[in-house]
Every structure is written in structure tokens, then in C-alpha cells.
Amino acid sequence: MMIELTNIVKKFDHKAVLNDVSLSVGDREIMVLLGPSGCGKTTQLKIIAGLIKQNSGDIMLNNKVINNLPPQERNIGFVFQDYALFPHKNVFENIAFGLKIRKLSENEINSRVYEMMKILEIEELEYKNISQLSGGQKQRIALARALVTNPDVLLLDEPLSALDPVLREKLREELKNILKKIGITGIYVTHDLTEAMIVGDKIAIMNEGKIQQIGTPSEVFYRPRTEFVAKFVGARNILKGQVIESNHDEVTIEVTGGANSFKIRALKYPIFERKKKMHFCIHPEDVVLSSEKADNSIRGIITGIVQNGPVIKVSIDIGGLELYAMVARRLLKYEVNDKVWVSFIRNALHPLCGKKCRSPVQETPASCIRVQ
């Protein structure tokens, strides 16, 4: 089942919450809407479900416009952020609720509910009260209730956000496996990059009511097209400069913005032209620190060291320009105020051109650049 949004606009009090949003989700594909709070992700889900009405634009399900269909006729499942389970009903009754509304026979209801509980491995919870369930169990009940009606499309609004970090990490992969096993088309909202990378076949990054970029998890992470996307996926090193030398497979870029400019060699992209000014980004994990001068390196001084889970985030000052590096804890040999050599592999750069850029033939870049 395919779903498509075309030029969707939604305003609240004359302020555009969604501004000309277009999106296409293929059959059995999971599209993740990723972005900061308030960017319009949940509003988009509610418009698709028919819970609120867009000001303009079309929603199409298998090429049929459904703008005027009421929610109950759209056959779209919705898993809410807080699950919205009925506390006065047990697990079976919660899952069966949508089927009873459809006035199915008791045999059909029992058959569908038991089948769904078996798929989600929650048969033993049948008569449990909602108050007796863990966060992970509630998540499965909400998912079962949405899926038991055989929806054409499933909408999930941050379904793991209420869980503790350990359980959330465990259920990410389980949820992806369940959705693929059932074979449903889904749109999944989150502001968590790791969750989006695991769950999504495609990711649409949103900001201020607009879609900034759509692509596979790999494309969005390694080839961000705008400065916002680059920063959102963790490529915090946004630099500006221009190409000053070029040969058939390599360019030299002069980076400006600090007290002194410096040069970086990088693989040549078709978009690079001599003396073209640009912005570019480098993922912190592509910044290499060393006590000895290496190829393609510059001198800097460490200004900060911060724990960041299994790795250390290191900030380095290079002539008034701040860069960030990610270093495995066991490999960090430096302290604040230590002088280090900072080097970059040749594929650490890629144009943030606002559109899909052609990559160098020989290597795939690790990060991305935007042309001014």
C-alpha cells in the first residue's frame, strides 16, 4: 500500500506548521520523520489519519485522494506516544476495541486478537489489567490494537519515547522486525537519530515545517545536503572555504573563518571548481588526533574533553576555529591545553549543495559540503 502527500500546508493561528510538504512512502516501506520538537512531525501524522484537516494539499492512498474521508474510513492505524490504552479494560479488551467498533462477530474478534497476541508474543497477558503492565508490554499492546484491524498504513508517534534507555534500545530492533514480518507500510515519528537509523527504510528530516532531506539512513547520515541536516546527524564541523588547487582526482581547499586560514586536501567531486566558495561539514569521527605530524594535518590545541557514552568528545581550537573529534576512550592520550596534530582522511569532505551530489568515482565520502 502506497501513501503520498502532495504540497501539504497546515496553519494554526495564521502560522504555518507544515509548509508545502510532499512525501511518498512505498508499499511495505517504513518512512521515519525525524526532527526537533515542534517541526511538524506529529501534525503530519494527524493530517494523514484525518484527525485534523490540512489547509491545502492532497493525501493519496494507492493513488486515491482521501482528503475528505473521515478517520474511521481511512483504514489507518495509529500508535500514540502515550499509547492511549483504556485503563478500565484488560489487555484482550484493549486489543479487541477497534474490532468491536466495526461490529465483527465474536468468533472473528477472538481469532484476530489471539493471532495478533501470538505474533507479538503477549498471549500470557490476555487478562492482565493495564496498570499491571511494564512500559515495554504497554508498547506491544498499543501496537497490537493498531495492527489487529489490518490497517493499510500504520502511523507511530514516538512509540518508544516513554521507555527507559535500556528497554528502548532493545525494542528498536524488535519493533523493526515486527513491522517487516507483518509487511505493513508505516510512517514513524521520532527525534532520536539512532532510532531512525535502525527502524527506517527511508528518513525524512524536518525543520520548521519543511522537509530538508529524504533518503536512506546511509544517505542522510553520510551525505547531508544542508547545514541543518549535517548538524542534526552529528556532523558538527561546518567549515567554509574555497578550492584553490585541483587535479583529476584531488582538490586543495583553503578553509577560512579563524584567525589564520589552513588547507585540507580532499577527493574531487564533480561540483568542485577552482576558486568556488562553499560550506562543508566533517563528521567528528573523521577527525584524527595525533602527537606527531601526519599527512593532511594542521596544528591545534585541545580546549575541552567531554564523556559521550562509549566515546570521548574532544573540542580543538585551530587558530580561533573550533573543531570536534570523537575518540574511543581507550585511545584518548591527551588533556585540555595539550597541543595536537589534527588530520583528515581524503574522503572526510563532501559538498552541502542542497541537492544530491555526485560522489567521486573511487571512494564513497564519509560526510558532506554545501555550495554557497
Q: Where are the domains of the chain?
A: 3-223, 228-371
Confidence tier at 247 by pLDDT (50, 70, 90): confident
Summarize pLDDT for 131-163 with one digit per residue, the tens.
Answer: 999 888 998 899 999 999 999 999 999 988 878
Judge contact between 289 and 341, C-beta under 8 A.
yes
First to last CA, the chain: 40
Judge contact between 152 and 121, C-beta under 8 A.
no
Position 357 scores a pLDDT of: 64
Record the pTM.
0.86
pLDDT for residue 368 is more than 50:
no
CATH among 2.60.40.10, 2.40.50.100, 3.30.2090.10, 3.30.565.10 for 228-371: 2.40.50.100
93 burial level (CB within 10 Å; 0-12, 13-18, 19+)? middle
Summarize pLDDT for 166-193 with one digit per residue, the tens.
Answer: 888 888 888 888 889 889 999 999 999 9
Is the CATH code 3.40.50.300 the one for domain 3-223? yes
Helix axes 106-119, 135-147, angle to 10 degrees: 130
Position 367 scores a pLDDT of: 45
Position 26 scores a pLDDT of: 96
Long-range contacts of residues 8-16, Cβ cutoff 8 Å, at least 24 apart: 8/44, 8/47, 8/54, 8/56, 8/57, 8/58, 8/59, 9/54, 9/55, 9/56, 9/57, 10/40, 10/43, 10/47, 10/52, 10/54, 10/55, 10/209, 11/55, 16/209
Q: Calculate ∠ Cα 233-239-235, nearest 5°.
A: 15
Position 276 scores a pLDDT of: 76
Mean pLDDT taken over the chain: 89
pLDDT for residue 316 is more than 60:
yes
Summarize pLDDT for 108-139 with one digit per residue, the tens.
Answer: 999 999 999 998 889 999 999 999 998 889 98
Looking at the chain, the whole-number percentage of residues with pLDDT higher than 90 is 61
Long-range contacts of residues 169-175, Cβ cutoff 8 Å, at least 24 apart: 170/136, 171/136, 171/139, 172/198, 172/199, 173/198, 175/139, 175/143, 175/199
| Amino acid letter for position 206 | M
